[in-house]
Amino acid sequence: MIRSRLVALLRSAIASLQAEGFLPEGLGAPVEVSEPANPEHGDFACNYALMVAKAAGKNPREIATRLAQALESAPELAAVEVAGPGFLNLRLSPSLVGAAVADVLERGEDFARLPAEQPKRMNVEFVSVNPNGPITIGSGRGAAFGSTLCNVLEAAGHTVHREYYINDGVNSEQMRLFAESVRSMCLGLPFPEKGYRGDYVSEVASKITPSGDESVGWFQARSQDLMLAKQREDLAAFGVWFDTWFSEQSLHDDGKVEAAIQALHANGSADDRPHRTKLKLGKKGVIEDVEIEAQPTDEDDAEGAGKTLWLRSTKYGDDQDRVLKRKDGRYTYIASDVAYHDDKFNRPPNADKLLTILGPDHHGYIGRLTAVVAALQRGKMEAPSSSFPLPDPESRIYADAAERDACQAALAEAKEKLEVVIFQLVRFLKDGQPAPMRKRDGNIYALIDLIQEIGKAAAPEADAAEQTRIGRDVARFFYLMRSHETHLDFDLDLAAKQSDDNPVYYVQYAHARICSLLEKAREAGFEASEFDESLLADRRETALVKKIADLPFEIQRSADDYGVHRIATYAVELARAYHHFYDGCRVIQPESPDLSRARLALCRATQVALRASFGLLGISAPERM
C-alpha cells in the first residue's frame, strides 16, 4: 500500500545515488517511513539520511538533499522537502491517495492479508483450563487474546492451528476432587473435605442420572464431559473455537506417555537415580551453586515400590529436576507434557513453532516446558564427538563437555520451537472495588455471566441472542484494548454502560454511520461506480486514507511481537479519522456528483477496513445501532 510504495520509491532513489557513486553500497540501514507528529512535516518522513550519514562519511543534510532531487519527478509525491538535521518530508499526491482507495475497493477485506516473508506453520494453544468448572472471566483474557492472535497470524500469512489441551488425566487430583464432589451430591454422600461447591457443581450433578456404577471414575468421566461441553458452548458464545480439543488422557491410553518417557530415558534426559539436582541461580541465570539433594527414603515405602523417575531438567536450564513418575508408578502432569509436546508438532503437519499462551500464574512453568522440549530435541540431534571433563559447578550437572554442548544445543533449539506467551493479570472492578473471580460461596465469576450481564444492561429490550452479541463485543474489546503484557483493569460498570464512554460503540458507530450513509446515497441515485482518483485532497481525506492503508502494516507489527491490542487501537483511530472526515467533508452533494462519488468510494473503503479489523478482533459490524 502507501508505505510500501514510498519505501520502493526511496529504495530506487538510494540505488541511483549508489550507481553514481555518491553513496557506498551495503549500508545496511533499513529504509522506513514514519508518520510525523507534526503535520507541517508532511504525510510521511524518512530518516534514512540520518541513519547512514556516519557510515557513508557524509553530511546527512547533503544526503537528504540528493535523495530529494532523485525523488522530484515521482508522480506519487506532491512535495519532497529536506528538514531539520536531515529528515526527508514527503507529501502524497492526490492521485496516490485515490489509487489507494481504489486498491482497497478492488481487493476487499483481502487487502488486510499479506504474504509472510518467512511463513511459519504454527500450533497455538490457548485457554486450556481444567474441565472442573466453567470458563472464568480471568480466562477470558487468554481466550480473547489467543483467538485474536490466531486471526492476526493468519492474516500475516502464517498457517495456524488452534488448539485446546484438555487436562483430563484420570490421575489428576483436582479432577478427582471435583468428581467426588459431584458424586456426593448425586448419591447423597458426605461432602469431601475441600470439595468443590458452587452452583456449577450442582448443575453438573443434576444432569447426571446414576447408572448403578458408583465409582469416582465413572463420575469423573461424566462430570468432565458435561463441564467440557459447557466450556465449549461458552467459548463459542465468546467467538472462540478450536481446530483440536486434545485430550491429555488419550496420550496415556495410546501409550504415548510411556514411549516418550522411554525415549528421554534412552537419550540421558531422564533416570531413576535417587537424587535431585537444584540450581541456585544468580542474576541473568548465572549458576551460582549446584546442590545435589539425596532423595529421602520413606519408612513406609511398600515393598515392591518402584523408583522415582526424574527429568534432569537442570541440564536444560530449569532450576531443579522434575519428577516424571512417582514411586507408586503414577505419572505426574509433566510426564503427559513430554508426550504432548512431541505430538503437537503434527498439528499442523510438520509444525515449526509451538505457541503456548498462559496466564500469569503459570509463569514459573516456562523453564520446565522449555526443558521438556529441549529433552525431546536432544534425541533428534547428532551428539558432539569431543569430550573432556568439566570444571565445577558444571561437572555436577553434566557428565562431560560433550553432554553439556549437546544439551545446550538442544535448549537453543527448544527456545526456537517453543514460545510461551504470558498474558498479565486482569483486575475486575465493580463500584470502584475489586470484584473477585472466585466468590466466597464457592461460586466463580463465569465468562458467560459477564457476557450476559453486559448484554442485559446495555440492551434490556433485546432478545437473548442480541444481548449475547453485545456482551461478547464489549467484553472482547475490553480485553483486547490493552497490551497482553500489562496488567488490565476491567471496569464492569463501564462495560455495562451503553454510552460514548464505551469505546466499542465508538468504533461500531462509525460502521453503522457508513452503512446508513451508503443507503442514503443509493436513494439519492449514487450507485457504487468509478470515481475520479484525483479528487481526494482534503487533509481529512488524506488522513483517513492513510489510516485505512495502515491496516496491513499494523497486522505485520502485531504478528511480529504478538501485540494484538494494536488492532483495537487501530480500530479506534480509524473510526476517529472517519468521524473527523464526516464532520468536515459533506459526502452527498447532488450539485457536485464527481466529488460525491469519490467520497462515497472513500466511505466504502473505510467500511472495508473497519470490517477487516472487526473480523480480527472477533466483534460484529452492526449496520444499525
Residue ranges in 11-40 that form contacts with RNA under rule CB under 7 A:
32, 34-38, 40
CA distance 550 to 548: 5
Residue burial 504-537, b: 16+ Cβ < 10 Å; e: rest:
bbbbbbbbebbbebbeebeeeebeeeebebebbe
Binds RNA (CB under 7 A): choice among 187, 425, 464, 528: 425
| Matching residue, cell 460498570 | 493
CA-CA distances (angstroms) from residue 101 to 115, 155, 229, 532, 607? 20, 20, 45, 11, 11
Q: What is the DSSP letter of 27?
A: -
Q: Taking the CA atoms of the chain, what radius of gyration do you get in angstroms?
A: 30
| Matching residue, cell 571433563 | 389
Closest distance between RNA and the C-beta of residue 157, in Å? 19
Residues 501-540 that bind RNA (CB under 7 A): 501, 503, 505-506, 509, 512-513, 515-517, 520
Binds RNA (CB under 7 A): choice among 50, 160, 612, 621: 50
Choose the binding region for RNA from 66-74, 212-220, 236-244, 484-492 (rule: CB under 7 A): 484-492
Closest distance between RNA and the C-beta of residue 349, in Å? 27
Q: Between residues 446 and 488, which has the closer beta carbon with respect to RNA?
A: 488
Residues 242-261 that bind RNA (CB under 7 A): 248
- The amino acid present at 315, given as its one-letter code, is K
Binds RNA (CB under 7 A): choice among 115, 190, 283, 590: 283
Q: Between residues 334 and 406, which has the closer beta carbon with respect to RNA?
A: 334
Q: Is 485 in the site for RNA (CB under 7 A)?
A: yes
Q: Between residues 171 and 244, which has the closer beta carbon with respect to RNA?
A: 171
Q: What is the DSSP letter of 424?
A: P
Residues 100-129 that bind RNA (CB under 7 A): none
Count the residues of the shown chain that bind RNA, applying the rule CB under 7 A. 94
Binds RNA (CB under 7 A): choice among 18, 332, 408, 556: 332
Binds RNA (CB under 7 A): choice among 93, 244, 395, 569: 569
Q: Between residues 527 and 583, which has the closer beta carbon with respect to RNA?
A: 583
CA distance 558 to 548: 16
The contacts of residue 190 (CB under 8 Å, 6+ apart) are: 184
Q: What sign results for the dihedral spanned by CA atoms 27, 31, 36, 40?
A: positive
Q: Between residues 107 and 363, which has the closer beta carbon with respect to RNA?
A: 363
Binds RNA (CB under 7 A): choice among 244, 295, 395, 408: 295
Q: Is 194 in the site for RNA (CB under 7 A)?
A: no
Residues 542-561 that bind RNA (CB under 7 A): 557
Strand 309-311 with 322-325, pairing: antiparallel
Closest distance between RNA and the C-beta of residue 195, in Å? 14
Nearest to 497 by CA among 457, 465, 450: 457
Q: Is 623 in the site for RNA (CB under 7 A)?
A: yes
- DSSP track, 580-620: HHHHHS----TT-HHHHHHHHHHHHHHHHHHHHHHHHHT--
Q: Is 608 in the site for RNA (CB under 7 A)?
A: no
Closest distance between RNA and the C-beta of residue 385, in Å? 34
* Grid coordinates given for 308: 522415582
Choose the binding region for RNA from 235-243, 257-265, 393-401, 563-571 (rule: CB under 7 A): 563-571
Binds RNA (CB under 7 A): choice among 16, 69, 93, 174: 174
Q: Is 472 in the site for RNA (CB under 7 A)?
A: no
CA distance 106 to 132: 49
Extended beta strands in 468-511, E state = 488-491
Residues 64-83 that bind RNA (CB under 7 A): 83
| Matching residue, cell 472517519 | 578
Closest distance between RNA and the C-beta of residue 331, in Å? 8
CA distance 280 to 257: 30
Q: Is 59 in the site for RNA (CB under 7 A)?
A: no
Q: Are 510 and 619 in contact (CB under 8 A)?
A: no
Choose the binding region for RNA from 13-21, 103-111, 237-245, 492-500 (rule: CB under 7 A): 492-500
Q: Between residues 406 and 587, which has the closer beta carbon with respect to RNA?
A: 587
Q: Is 582 in the site for RNA (CB under 7 A)?
A: yes
Q: Is 365 in the site for RNA (CB under 7 A)?
A: yes
Choose the binding region for RNA from 18-26, 47-55, 138-146, 206-214 (rule: CB under 7 A): 47-55
Closest distance between RNA and the C-beta of residue 462, in Å? 11
- DSSP track, 333-361: HHHHHHHHHHHHTTSSTT--EEEEEE-GG
Closest distance between RNA and the C-beta of residue 490, in Å? 9
Closest distance between RNA and the C-beta of residue 21, in Å? 23
Choose the binding region for RNA from 195-203, 251-259, 419-427, 529-537 (rule: CB under 7 A): 419-427
Q: Between residues 285 and 389, which has the closer beta carbon with respect to RNA?
A: 285
The contacts of residue 9 (CB under 8 Å, 6+ apart) are: 71, 74, 76, 77
Q: Is 228 in the site for RNA (CB under 7 A)?
A: no
Q: Is 287 helix (H, G, I), strand (E, B) or coil?
A: strand
Residues 345-364 that bind RNA (CB under 7 A): 360-364
CA distance 17 to 448: 61
Q: Are 89 and 115 in contact (CB under 8 A)?
A: no
Q: Between residues 47 and 377, which has the closer beta carbon with respect to RNA?
A: 47
Q: Which residues pair with 433 in a beta bridge?
A: 430
The mark string for 296-325 relative to RNA (x by CB under 7 A, - otherwise) is ------------x----------xx-xx--
